[in-house]
Structure 1
Amino acid sequence: MLKALKKMFGKGSGEQPAPTPQGEAPAAAREGRSQPPKNDKPARDGKPRAPKANAERKPRDEQAKADKPKPEKPRRERPAKPPTPASTWKLEDFVVEPQEGKTRFHDFPLAPELMHALHDLGFPYCTPIQAGVLGYTLKGRDAIGRAQTGTGKTAAFLISIITQLLQTPPPKERYMGEPRALIIAPTRELVVQIAKDAAALTRYTGLNVMSFVGGMDFDKQLKQLESRFCDILVATPGRLLDFNQRGEVHLDMVEVLVLDEADRMLDMGFIPQVRQIIRQTPPKAERQTLLFSATFTDDVMNLAQQWTTNPAIVEIEPENVASETVEQHVYAVAGSDKYKLLYNLITQNNWERVMVFANRKDEVRRIEERLVRDGVSAAQMSGDVPQHKRIKVLEGFRAGHIRVLVATDVAGRGIHIDGISHVINFTLPEVPDDYVHRIGRTGRAGASGTSISFAGEDDAFALPPIEELLGRKINCEYPPAELLKPVPRRH
């Protein structure tokens, strides 16, 4: 499959280049993109960028707004956010011994401020997707990456973005609402998680990170945009278009564009919106584009061909599709007994942090309501829950105040919470890949975890395709009688 992909993009052997030695500037800071006057920036292929006819900003949709022209906002220049003091930290404090078969972050030309953040986070060695991607992107190449969930691809593109922005000074004349790096993700939870990771990695750099998602106060998000320059913007497609079409966000200064979970954006119907957004950014020869996907379907690769230039393809094939740290079980159980089984598993085993997945929003709501009624601390996560409440629920679950999080597949990707001991599939997903993403919420960062799936008369048909994807059978058993005891009535 990898050979076919490389043939599509006209590549040769595809061997990963050796990391650039520490201290060497990558590809002359993107072949000249560091020059301050933004209209004079050369393209990454060396051709000069055509100057704009008028350097003054014009509204993006003049024809649509001809009847009601919007006055141009005055330029507002404010000092950049001061970086968090690094105290007396030195690179020598971050000692990582070379190990055979492992790539250190020291092996790449990363700024001391970024290395300090990696040290704080406890990341001495790169994961395979990080080592593979950074070997190309730090030299200015576009890249397409595929790796299973929880492998560190978020840090891979954030490290690349931060390095680019630190090595290429912003133009002297700059407008508010002009991000230099743009990350588009399909769900609100994933956007919030990426922004949180970006804030941790930029802690000592002075770079500003902002996130725009639907379901939250528009004016509050607008105020943060008006308060300081935006270096890294993470957004869902719909809310980003809202800001762009109102003239609050302009994308013609984007140096790095990241599309995360492209396969899911296809599934959710976001591609028309993403196309609108990409048309507002510089041509693909003048920006770096990174695309990540859990699967390389024909549709994903066609999009990559349209939006990238000579991309490096980094495909990390796991030995097993599902993590070896997750122990998997399937209980054959009648639909009418599923709730009793769920309640008894949680209460009899005294589990403290459990995720329960169901396929439909109404199912999620009913399970959560019954658990709460029966004295189990629970909350729900689905597309019907307002964003501010979803964030509050996630924080409560992370802090241990909520024992059971019941969710649709909106929480199947992008939610990284340590200490989830069990994932329960109340209903088996119809898409086998969703099974892998669901059970990947446990057994993270080397910890062990357990997944238990309930196979009833209505969803047992979904098990064979899941087993085919995993490449092995999952032992199906009947639950012991004590796990099917009636739920005690509460007075």
Structure 2
Amino acid sequence: MNDDSNPSASAEDNAKKTEKEEKVGFKELELTEQINRALSDLGFTHCSPIQAKSLPYSLSGHDVLGKAQTGTGKTAAFLIAVFEDLLRQPAPEERFAGEARALVIAPTRELVMQIAKDATEIGKYTGLQVHALVGGMDFGKQLQSLHSRHVDLLVATPGRLLDMCERREVYLDQVEVMVIDEADRMLDMGFIPQVKRIVRMAPQKTHRQTLLFSATFSDDVLRLAEQWVYEPITVEIEPESIATDTVEQIVYLVSGDEKLPLLMNLITQPDVHNLMIFANRRDQCRVLHERLRNKGFKVGLLSGEIPQGKRVRTLDDFKNGRLQALVATDVAGRGIHIEGISHVVNYTLPDEPEDYVHRIGRTGRAGKSGKSISFACEDDAFRLPAIEELLGRKLHCEQPPEHLLD
């Protein structure tokens, strides 16, 4: 079939246009009054690029394949589409406990909890019920919540969702809208077999709307998209749009021995507030956290090996200024949405260039400026060229100032 006879193909071509467009106001999208009121409460007046590109298609019922990083507004993009669908399609008169109308799958507990929080805020005037299912937290409480009220929107990690489905506590056969968030990270974490089983429990792709988002469009992600989405519109937000506009990026050329004293001096600088520090592995993060704590710094640790309850308390302490810094792995840091992070430090340069973009996207959010400082030593400087290739430009490399090495 050629493009002339395929209306979705021409729509896809339009969605891929790269020229700058004027800002789109949410009022122009003819959203329901309940959603407009909530967006107004949140101070949202105009769409971010991913919202402006995807919402005209998702609101009209198209499947969407979106390339966008955390921090671009994609969560609100798919939540608005989900709530609009649920509001415009009346709920069945007869409903069973655990029977979800819409489903969002995300790879980490932090991300699921953040999406559920955002959903509660965006949907607060709708009367629709939002539930979150994550591993590592009280199973009984989550089960009690499912039984106590209807499930309009279910946000879940794959493992806990599959567990609930296999116990016949959750049913997906009535799902109208399915969102698969951060598909590339699902691949990285080995969740794809679980997600495939979950998708098979939902209606066929021709009988539901599917929105799939990924930071990268690797061959593996595109193959999965072929299986899960139906005649999708493809929208892409390139990483440099968030990696370069609001974040000043510096690379300090150091030896391995200079990294710790450099980091300790950075933490004490007067312009540093809510510092996030990334390292590649859990053991690196654990050792770094212990060393900083031993030096008297108030530092939290966020990684997959930390119990969920403690991770929640650590995030709360960080958000409320009770910690000077937070040490995190890429997986744990991916779902964090915290305003006011002034600096991000790459203690070790990431193995995957895309993770560099995710890391520095923790700062410079909501139109504010931020600063990213990367430490490049003899062990990881070789990763710089791949990062620069992804960004499409050279990074400024320099020796750190003497006063930061004392």
Q: Give the TM-score normalised by structure 1.
A: 0.78
Match of 2:378 among 457, 460, 468: 457
Q: Give the match's secondary structure for 2:351.
A: coil
Retained in 2: the 8 A contact 1:16–1:136? no
Q: Report Cα offsets for 1:87-138 as digits up to 9, x if no partner.
A: xxxxxxxxxxxxx812111112311111110000011111121122111111
Does 2:260 match 1:339? yes
Counterpart position of 2:308: 387
| Mapped partners of 1:13, 1:394: distance in 2 | 41
Give the helix-richer structure, 1 or 2. 2
Structure 1 letter corresponding to 2:9: K
Query: Which residue does 1:438 correspond to in 2?
Result: 359
Whether 2:119 is the aligned partner of 1:121: answer: no
Deviation at 1:327, TM superposition (A): 0.6
Taking the aligned partners of 1:338 and 1:378, their CA distance within structure 2 comes to: 17
**Are residue 324 (structure 1) and residue 248 (structure 2) matched?**
no
- Aligned-residue CA RMSD in angstroms? 2.0
Pick from 241, 244, 248 the counterpart of residue 165 of structure 2.
244
Higher relative contact order (CA 8 A, sep 6+): 2
Identity of aligned residues (%): 60
Name the aligned partner's letter for residue 120 of structure 1: D
Deviation at 1:479, TM superposition (A): 1.7
Report the CA distance between 1:374 and its aligned residue.
Answer: 1.4
Gaps of 5+ in 1: 18-99, 486-491
Checking the alignment, whether the CA contact within 8 Å between 2:302 and 2:333 is kept in structure 1 is no
Counterpart residue number, 1:282:
203
- 1:8-27 CA deviation, whole Å, 9 max, x = no partner? 9982463559xxxxxxxxxx
Tell whether the 8 Å contact from 1:323 to 1:440 is kept in structure 2 after alignment: no
**Native 8 Å contact 1:16 1:132 kept in 2:** no
What residue identity is the alignment partner of 2:203?
Answer: P
Deviation of 1:349 (Å): 3.7
1:306 Cα deviation after fit? 1.0
State how far apart, in whole Å, the 2-side matches of 1:129 and 1:201 are: 17
CA offsets 1:297-318 (integer angstroms, 9 cap, x no match):
1111111111111111112346
Equivalent position SS for 1:313? strand
Indicate the larger mover: 429-438 or 143-152: 143-152
2-structure distance, mates of 1:241, 1:295: 25
Which of 231, 238, 250 is the aligned partner of 1:310?
231
Q: Which whole-Å CA distance do the structure 1 matches of 2:248 and 2:46 have between them? A: 26
Kept after mapping to 2: 8 A contact 1:193/1:415 = yes
Partner AA of 1:194 in structure 2: I
Alpha carbons of structure 1 residues 16 and 467: separation in structure 2 relative to 1, 3 Å: closer
Contact 1:149 1:413 in 2 (8 A): yes
Matched, 1:225 2:146: yes
Among 74, 80, 93, the residue aligned to 1:153: 74
Aligned length: 398
Q: 1:415 corresponds to which residue?
A: 336
What CA deviation, in whole Å up to 9, does each residue of 1:319-338 have, x standing for no partner? 64613111111111111221
Q: Distance in 2 between matches of 1:252 and 1:388?
A: 32
Query: How far has the Cα of 1:472 moved from its partner?
Result: 1.6
Given that residues 323 and 443 in structure 1 are in contact (C-alpha distance below 8 angstroms), is that contact kept between their aligned partners in structure 2?
no
Task: Look at both structures and tell me which one has the larger radius of gyration over its CA atoms.
Answer: 1
Greater CA drift, 344-353 or 465-474: 344-353
Structure 2 residue 180 is matched with structure 1 residue 259: yes
The CA distance in 2 between the partners of 1:109 and 1:15, in whole Å, is 23
Q: Unpaired runs of 5+ in structure 2?
A: 16-20
TM-score relative to the length of structure 2: 0.94
Query: 2-side partners of 1:428 and 1:332: how far apart?
Result: 12
Letter in 1 for 2:54: V
The secondary structure found in structure 2 opposite 1:231 is: strand
State the 1:191 CA deviation.
Answer: 0.5
Are the equivalent residues in 2 in contact too, given 1:111–1:163 (CA < 8 A)? yes
- The CA distance in 1 between the partners of 2:400 and 2:269, in whole Å, is 13
Structure 2 residue corresponding to 1:166, chosen from 84, 87, 94: 87
Code of the residue aligned with 1:200 in structure 2: it is E
